[in-house]
Amino acid sequence: MIRALSITRSIHDWLYSSMSENMAYFIEMVLIAIVYLAIFAVAGLFLVLIERRVAAWFQLRIGPNRVGFQGLLQTMADALKLLSKELTGTEKADKFLYNLAPYFVIITALMALAVIPFTQDFQAFDINIGILFLIAISSIGVIGILLGGWSSNNKFALIGAMRSGVQTISYELSIGLSLLTMILITGSLQLSEIVEVQKSGWLIVQGHIPAIIAFMIYMIAGTAETNRAPFDMAEAESELGAGFHTEYSGMKFAYFFLAEFINMFIIAAIATTVFFGAWLSPFGITESIPILGVFWFLAKAMVLVFLMMWFRWTFPRLRVDQLLTLEWKYLLPLNLMNIVIMALIVWLNLTIQF
Amino acid sequence: MGSEAIIVFLIAGIVLVAGANFLSNLISHKSDNPQKREPYESGMTTIGPTWVQFKVGYYLFAILFLIFDVEVAFLIPWAVVFKDFGAIAFIEVLIFLVILGLGLMYAWKKGALKWE
């Protein structure tokens, strides 16, 4: 439940005082769902704009800046345009799976968003196996991509989906293992407890060398997991058209697009939570004002999102074999060794704590 | 919120996609012609079936992933309680990771990690 802001507490009290318990409970659930859908949509649209502005900046262009203040309404206009576009699709497609695929990607992205601790108690779903839940949910997302690519009955889409599948499952190992390295310090999978541990120093400081290695592995794997450049084999424009969503048009394409950006945010948000103290302010400078936690969380997440956009315009696209070599022959052995080092450091109490 | 959050978010996701699809169907422009319903392939008509047996290399990596992901699932409970056990947990996992590493070496040696 969201308890952080005093306004939500007063809404909660008002609901329970003015109607029967079941009704109040139901309305509260609906409100939470609406809040998260709003976060989902706003974050997605905002990130698309940021991506375009950053891309323009890297290429010495201006980027969209006409619709609304600094182009803030540009992506809103794009979303409306996509909504009014015709939903075409191929006659040969497996209709049921073709329509099912967007549900998978959207629902998994939304569920992953639920466990992100935006600030103290601003977390819809504080589950005691939070990290495991995130890893599990992100594995389901790839099923949506595979379904979409396979059911389209299009050769580009099929190749794109297969590449995306092999890439996502490979890099998922690195995500899991690098997060596991950090769990050694926290001794808990619950995200709120992971934040609690970081009150005596962010985990990247507490774990020093192995934590920094784990963070680097995590960012590389996270970029690959979201199919972003330089790992965007799945939608390599020059060879595959649009990759797995070649046959999707209008709003159905928008789901994949939105989910991709939300997934990027989720990767950054997990990194923020596990490595950079989530909503904790540096040196506890604003601890007395809990609402600023949201600001700190988003600021840290945005820096990491910017890092991922930076990757995109810095590195050339990899080939499939290079991609798999990087994961299986470099990152995975490095990760296994890193776990041993981290275990040694935790065992010998060599962590840095303030 | 407890575990009912899963249900709430599941319903929210379904409502989002179904609602936007419905809205799109309502306001979108519609024009139909047979060529539009062809699969896209750079302007040509697709030759042959798409749903064919695909390159086996992808499945090989899927199997490797399955093995290693199960190992990750084994390691997670260990990582959670590691602090309480210390030396014994460290040595046991060292043995476990060495066996895992040997497995990776074997796959590497056999050429399972090679992409051709």
Whether B44 and chain A come into contact, CB under 8 Å, resolves to: no
Find all residues with CB under 8 Å of A19, minimum gap 6, and list them.
A27
Residues of chain A neighbouring B54 (CB-CB closer than 8 A): 158, 162
User: What single-letter amino acid sits at B87?
Assistant: A
Residues A64 and A52: their CA atoms lie apart, in Å, by: 7
User: What single-letter amino acid sits at A189?
Assistant: L
Residues of chain B neighbouring A166 (CB-CB closer than 8 A): 57-58, 61-62
**What is the CATH number for B51?**
1.20.58.1610
pLDDT in tens, A32-60: 888 888 988 899 999 999 999 999 999 99
* Rounded mean pLDDT, A248-252: 85
Residues of chain A neighbouring B65 (CB-CB closer than 8 A): 169-170, 172-173
* Rounded mean pLDDT, A117-141: 84
pLDDT in tens, A67-110: 888 888 888 888 888 888 888 777 788 888 888 888 999 999 98
Per the CB < 8 A criterion, the answer to whether A231 and A243 are in contact is no
Q: Is residue B115 part of a domain?
A: no
**Nearest residue on chain B to A107, judged by CA atoms?**
B13
pLDDT in tens, A173-226: 899 999 999 998 888 888 888 888 888 888 888 888 899 999 999 999 999 988
Q: Is residue B104 part of a domain?
A: yes
Higher pLDDT, A16 or A109: A109
Residues B39 and A246: their CA atoms lie apart, in Å, by: 9
pLDDT in tens, A330-351: 999 999 999 999 999 888 888 8
Residues A100 and A114: their CA atoms lie apart, in Å, by: 22
Q: Is residue B116 part of a domain?
A: no
Dihedral sign from CA coordinates of A89, A91, A97, A100: positive
Q: Provide the number of structural domains found in chain A.
A: 1
Q: How confident is the model at residue A269 (pLDDT cuts 50, 70, 90)?
A: very high
Residue with the two structure tokens 């998994």? A108
Residue with the two structure tokens 């999707």? A248
pLDDT for position B2: 66
**Nearest residue on chain B to A3, judged by CA atoms?**
B1
Q: How confident is the model at residue A7 (pLDDT cuts 50, 70, 90)?
A: low
Residue ranges in B28-109 assigned as alpha helix (H):
56-85, 87-109
Per the CB < 8 A criterion, the answer to whether A275 and A182 are in contact is yes
pLDDT for position A307: 92
The torsion angles phi and psi of A116, rounded to 5 degrees, stand at -70, 125
User: What single-letter amino acid sits at A160?
Assistant: G
DSSP 8-state symbol, A187: -
CA-to-CA dists, residue A298 to A85, A209, A274, angstroms: 33, 25, 14
The torsion angles phi and psi of A254, rounded to 5 degrees, stand at -60, -35
For chain A, the average pLDDT equals: 86
Cis peptide before A333 (omega within 30 of 0): no
pLDDT for position A270: 92
Q: Provide the number of structural domains found in chain B.
A: 1
Of A9, A12, A32, A10, which is closest to residue A24 (Cα–Cα)?
A: A12
Q: Is residue B114 part of a domain?
A: no
pLDDT for position A301: 92
Q: Is residue B62 part of a domain?
A: yes
Per the CB < 8 A criterion, the answer to whether B9 and A110 are in contact is yes
Q: Is residue A125 part of a domain?
A: yes
User: What single-letter amino acid sits at A226?
Assistant: T
- Domain range spanning residue A276? 88-347
Inter-chain touch A84–B55, beta carbons under 8 Å:
no
Q: Is residue B63 part of a domain?
A: yes
Residues of chain B neighbouring A124 (CB-CB closer than 8 A): 1, 5, 8-9
Inter-chain touch B82–A343, beta carbons under 8 Å:
yes
* Rounded mean pLDDT, A150-170: 86
pLDDT for position B55: 82
User: How many CB pairs below 8 Å do chains A and B form together?
Assistant: 204
Rounded to a whole number of angstroms, the distance from the CA of B67 to the nearest CA of chain A is 10
- Domain range spanning residue B50? 4-109
Q: Is residue A229 part of a domain?
A: yes
Q: Is residue A40 part of a domain?
A: no
Inter-chain touch A107–B13, beta carbons under 8 Å:
yes
| pLDDT per residue as tens, chain B (116 positions) | 567 778 888 898 899 899 988 988 888 888 878 877 788 777 778 787 878 888 888 888 888 888 888 888 888 889 888 888 878 888 988 999 899 889 889 988 988 888 77
Q: Is residue A2 part of a domain?
A: no
Residues B101 and A62: their CA atoms lie apart, in Å, by: 50
CA-to-CA dists, residue B22 to A102, A265, B15, B25, angstroms: 14, 27, 10, 5
Residues of chain B neighbouring A321 (CB-CB closer than 8 A): 114-116
Q: Is residue A50 part of a domain?
A: no
Decide: helix, strand or coil at residue A197: helix
